[in-house]
Amino acid sequence: MRQKWFVNMQSREISTTKYGNSNYFTIFATEDEVEELRRIMDKIYDADIRSHIRAHIPFVPYHRDRSNDDYDDQYKEALTMIYQFGNNETKEHIDSMEILD
């Protein structure tokens, strides 16, 4: 059964409760769909950590760092899923970002 969820991409949080004035995407998804989105968010976090570590290695250029590519790919995958389950406002906001193909 689908229910309302709030997704914060900055903090990588997914909740049924909206906290504060943070920027949230609103989606309607099942528990299983949210678990899949959480797995993607975990991959974003892992790629972010690897990118941070790589930033301290001067001989690996940014544009040749697989962890940055992984981060971008996972971020787009999460946005695609959020778009799929999002309300109209969420979809309009993602469209305005011009990130998805």
For the chain, what percent of residues have pLDDT higher than 90? Answer: 62
Residue 23's pLDDT band (cuts 50, 70, 90): confident
Task: Let me know: does 27 contact 2? Beta carbons within 8 Å.
Answer: no
In this prediction, residue 58 carries a pLDDT of 64
Tokens 């193909």 identify what position? 101
pLDDT one-digit tens code per residue, 52-101 = 665 556 655 555 667 778 889 999 999 999 999 999 999 999 999 999 97
Asked if 81 contacts 37 with a C-beta cutoff of 8 angstroms, the reply is yes
Instruction: Read off the pLDDT of each residue in 21-36 and give the average, rounded to a whole number.
Output: 92
Among all chains, which residue has been given the structure tokens 């695609």?
80
CA distance 8 to 38: 11
Spatial separation of the C-alpha atoms in residues 73 and 22, rounded to whole Å? 24
- Contact between 27 and 46 under an 8 Å Cβ cutoff? The reply is no
CA 73 to chain centre: 10
